[in-house]
Amino acid sequence: MIRTIVVGVDRVAPNGDTANKIGTYQLAITARYHGCQFIVAAPTTSVDLYTKSGADIVIEERYEAEILVQTGFERQGVLEGRLKCVEVQVAPVGTRAWNPSFDVTPAELISAMDGQYLANKQINVQYAFKKDAKGERHGLAAEQLLAAQAQKNDRTL
């Protein structure tokens, strides 16, 4: 059984939202659904103090042709021993596509963030989240979070 998912990150907003390659948000949702820890490994260089939240992160868009057109070898050429590369439209003509390079994961889906910046007091990023008896969120290092989870489950990770 999977108990922890760890991913890298390209950008971290001060509120704890992150931007990373497409598919990271889906992994966070999957972790939440299955009750797993979702940990983001974030170096200092990924923290963006000028972006308030994930909503403010500008997402680079790739060419829509990467989705709408596939490139490969012509079947007949392969059979005859001569390779001819062709492009094939795989969607109906006139179809448009949105092809973002990154997705944004909201801080609420992140169990912990671990990285070089944890000791840097100038960066106000919620690097891990744990609610106390009053329901208030507090920062907690990833190792502590995993140890607490392991102790709770009475098994080691």
| Residues annotated as part of the active site | 10
DSSP 8-state symbol, 20: E
CA 106 to each of CA 16, 19, 72, 127: distance values in angstroms, whole numbers, following the listed order? 7, 9, 37, 12
- In the beta sheet, which residues pair with residue 38? 5
Distance in angstroms (rounded) separating the CA atoms of residues 113 and 87? 42
DSSP letter for each residue of 43-91: -GGGB-TT--SGGGSPPPB--THHHHEEEEE-HHHHHHT---EEEEE-S
